Structure 1
Amino acid sequence: MKPEMLADAGAVAREALAMILDSASRALAREGRFRLVLAGGSTPERTYCLLTETVSDWTGWEFFLGDERCLPADHPGRNSTMLRHVLFRHIPVEDARIHRIPAEQGAEAGALAYEQAIRGRLPFDLVLLGLGEDGHTASLFPGHEHPQERLVVPVHDAPKPPPDRISLNYHTLCAAREVLFLVSGAGKHDALARWQRGEDIPAARIHGREQTRVLADEAAVHG
């Protein structure tokens, strides 16, 4: 894996925006709809802000989440809360095309419910992912293995709070046409270096069927 190095987190966000728009254009022309999996984190958040200022026609866009924390539905620590504030309240997309993970039900019940919600909507067109300092992505952590038959998995004993989460499984993410990793900050340098050395971190297990890109800023590349 060789990351594409950009100057800073803002540049990563702008290049991510360009890829989202390109992927959307192709998917909409091909099938009349665009299924996008969203990630949490500050760099994706920058991208979503840019997206609201760029796209004027949201016809055919459909949104999913890569993972969620098992917290109350309106908790500020949830990805869905961030997405509501920076993206969904600013765009004219009906709620039926925003597929939130019902993590407030708990890891087991929420994972089963989300699996049913997405089963008929696979594969995704584009998946956005981040990279944790330990090499995790979505809520797929080092040392955690999950049943292959599950599209969505409950996660327990996460090494960072909260301990219970829900995540799309590896093969669900890998079935997507395209995967885009957004990596910024010196804190991600070690994980990115391990990935480049070929170590078996969770992020290294995920790749799109047609394209996988890793956008990283200078701080993440050089430390």
Structure 2
Amino acid sequence: MSFIENADRDMAIMNVAHAITSDLRKCLLQHETASFAVPGGTTPGPIFDAMSSVEIDWDRVHVMLTDERWVPEDHARSNAGLVKARLLTGRAAAAKFISFYRDGMSAEEATPTLSEALAGEVPISVLLLGMGVDMHTASLFPGAPGVAAAMARGAPLVCAVNPADQPEARITLSAPALDGAMDKHLVIFGDDKRAAFERAQSLPPTEAPISAVISGGTTHWAA
């Protein structure tokens, strides 16, 4: 695992966007398609902006979320809306978006269907992750109902979790699916998240889920 310290957040955004597009190009030289898993939240938006106009074979890129709130895609809390508005525009509009939400099904009911649908997309070609100060990543929240199953060695590709402090259930790629990605990038900003990331290195994955998925990856930090 490598750790890159950037001069500022703008520099980090540019460097991460460049690294990811380079990884996608490299993958497309060797494979017909590339899978690209991305988070929601506030951090990736500017990275998506920087990537959307880059000239690569976007029609061969399959974009999916690392996790999603179990709400329709037009809901204000849907991560899909962020991806469609900030990444799947310009040249990147040609990419294929793999939706998680299934109308009329609960998150738990949808997990077998989603795991089967994503079977052809793994190992994930390029993975972009964020991390909270509680050391969660994707929807792998420490101690949340469903997370132990999502972090188990034999977990399916997609799992449902139900964080007690969240208003809706979530769907998440499991820890094995995330950790199996070929190229992994974690982006964290601020001293508090850097301290949390460093603390995670000495904690078990049940307490620090990020530590279960970042082996062999690159962490990009800026104050």
**Equivalent residue number for residue 136 of structure 1:** 136
- Shift in Å, 1:103: 5.8
Deviations 1:116-135 (A, max 9, x none): 21012211111111001100
**Equivalent residue number for residue 10 of structure 1:** 10
- Shift in Å, 1:56: 5.2
**Equivalent residue number for residue 42 of structure 2:** 42
Deviations 1:97-153 (A, max 9, x none): 210111653221232222121012211111111001100000001123015232111
Counting aligned pairs with the same residue, the percent is 25
Deviations 1:156-209 (A, max 9, x none): 1x154234100000111111111110111344244223124x22210011136x
Distance 1:24 1:56, change over 3 A: closer
1:205 to 206, 212, 221: 212
TM-score, normalization by structure 2 = 0.86
Structure 1: which 5+ residue stretches go unaligned?
219-223
2:172 to 167, 173, 180: 167
User: Partners in 1 of 2:168 and 2:195 — Cα distance?
Assistant: 23
Structure 2: which 5+ residue stretches go unaligned?
none
2:161 to 138, 152, 155: 155
**Given that residues 71 and 78 in structure 1 are in contact (C-alpha distance below 8 angstroms), is that contact kept between their aligned partners in structure 2?**
yes
What count of residue pairs does the alignment treat as equivalent? 212
**Equivalent residue number for residue 197 of structure 2:** 192
> What secondary structure, in the 3-state scheme, does the structure 1 residue paired with 2:94 have?
coil
User: Partners in 2 of 1:159 and 1:133 — Cα distance?
Assistant: 17
Distance 1:11 1:41, change over 3 A: farther
Distance 1:5 1:103, change over 3 A: farther
Distance 1:79 1:187, change over 3 A: farther
User: Partners in 1 of 2:200 and 2:77 — Cα distance?
Assistant: 27
RMSD (Å), alpha carbons: 2.0
Range with bigger deviation, 99-108 or 163-172 = 99-108
**Equivalent residue number for residue 98 of structure 1:** 97
